[in-house]
Amino acid sequence: MAIETASLPLPPSADASKFAEFGREVKGVNPGTLTPEQFKEIEQLLYKHSALLFRDVDLSPEQQYALTKAFDPTSESYGHGNNKTGETKKSILHPDLKTIPRVPQVQLIGNGTVYDHEGLAEAKLKHPSHKSFHKTRVSDEDEAKGVTRFYRWHIDAALYDLSPPKVTTLYGLTVPRGDKQVCRYDDGTGDELEVPLGTTVFVSGKTMFEILPPELKSLAVRSKVKYSPHPYVWMAPAHAKSTGLGIETEGLEMPRDELPPWEESKIKVYPVLWKNPVTGGLHFQVHPCGVSEVFVDPLPEGAKREGALYPDGAHLTNLGEVRELLYKMQRPAIAPNLVYPHDWHEKDLVLFHNRGVLHSVVGAFAPNQVRAFHQCNLAASDDPVGPNAEDVKQWA
């Protein structure tokens, strides 16, 4: 059977015109046993459409690792380094990840207690809650009515020493069904989004760039962000915005001299826009929580200076200013009509282009609602590529 594709099921909240290229359901192949030719086709589809869904899949951790690795054959360690996340007790990611002993690149994530699972006698899982991360919280009363929030918009990446994974695979094994929830932005806009219980939400980094006004497109194409050393340890004492899109500036980040040992050469400086290896499109790929500085290149020769931001270039080091600027550029793209909330069913496998989308966990489970997912991504063998000279000429 040839590989067939269909559109992803969009909720009524989504602006279908903005999702014409985003996401495909793939039918007619078993993702655990792809031939090299089939894999090539899947790889092209993924970079073109940013997210692929396979339904009713049986996939062992070994098969999931092999599939993930096929996108970057020389990559080996988990996106945050094998077993490292658990050891770095101070990291904000510490409680969220449990490793499958046989295949340490595959993580067990979810909620509730899972017994005798792939070599783990007992794993206590906890779905991340905005209540332990955001500065403000949904009241217990509203939560009981099904109100929730985006937890943290992000790219799967260590953002220090290791390079951002190209692809993440997420496989839903146990998916509790429950009432829909309402994801509230609580940022004064009145924005809210109806979501399935325990959804994973995605936005396109390409759309994030495309909807910007010209002066912010010019800024994006000329800018790079510098991440903090050990960003997840650095941000651990701080609190997030109510939209989960970055951190409030309260001066709570861990001081540099209290971080685990770090080296300047391992700090990551990445372009704001990452070039898609298949389509050549530019995706706005910034993990807002971890950024500490922004570098802006001056306008290229011949570019229009009128209305341009930082026409002579800049190096922004004021954390509040850095975050305000990134938020201004990223917030439009998480508007309710631009979010794809995946409605998980058991045995769904979702592959996403981690260098082309931002995603977030959403929702709140009761302690007895058991959810078990396998997640795999691999620290990449190279760093993302930014805009080329032609892109800068076109957009600056």
User: Which residues contact Fe ion by CB under 5 A?
Assistant: 156
How many other CB atoms are there within 10 angstroms of residue 363's CB atom? 27
Q: Which is nearer to Fe ion, 72 or 156 (CB)?
A: 156
Give the CA angle between residues 288, 95, 262 to the nearest 5°. Answer: 55
Q: In terms of Cα–Cα distance, which of 65, 72, 165 is closest to 105? A: 65
Q: How far apart are CB 378 and Fe ion at their closest, in Å?
A: 13
Asked if residue 155 lies in contact with residue 164, where contact means CB atoms within 8 angstroms, the answer is yes
Q: Which is nearer to Fe ion, 168 or 223 (CB)?
A: 168
The rounded distance, in Å, linking the Cα atoms of 148 and 139 is 10
Q: How far apart are CB 247 and Fe ion at their closest, in Å?
A: 17
The rounded distance, in Å, linking the Cα atoms of 318 and 267 is 18
Q: Which is nearer to Fe ion, 104 or 298 (CB)?
A: 104
Joined tokens for residue 290: 């971890």
Cα separation values, 57 from 219, 322, 345, 389, Å: 43, 43, 11, 43
Q: How far apart are CB 395 and Fe ion at their closest, in Å?
A: 28
Please give the DSSP secondary-structure letter assigned to residue 307: T
Joined tokens for residue 351: 């592959």
Q: How far apart are CB 361 and Fe ion at their closest, in Å?
A: 7
Q: Which is nearer to Fe ion, 290 or 387 (CB)?
A: 290
Joined tokens for residue 253: 């980040």
Q: Which is nearer to Fe ion, 152 or 217 (CB)?
A: 152
Q: How far apart are CB 354 and Fe ion at their closest, in Å?
A: 8
Q: Which is nearer to Fe ion, 128 or 196 (CB)?
A: 128
Q: How far apart are CB 131 and Fe ion at their closest, in Å?
A: 19
Q: How far apart are CB 35 and Fe ion at their closest, in Å?
A: 29
φ/ψ bin of 329: left (φ > 0), alpha (ψ from -120 to 50), beta (otherwise): alpha
Q: Which amino acid is at 224?
A: K
SS3 82: coil
Q: Which is nearer to Fe ion, 43 or 156 (CB)?
A: 156
Residue with nearest beta carbon to Fe ion: 156
The rounded distance, in Å, linking the Cα atoms of 271 and 285 is 8
Q: Which is nearer to Fe ion, 156 or 186 (CB)?
A: 156
Listed in sequence order, the residues at least 6 apart from 190 whose beta carbon sits closer than 8 Å to its beta carbon are none
Torsion of CA 148, 352, 387, 390, to 10 degrees: -120
Q: How far apart are CB 20 and Fe ion at their closest, in Å?
A: 25
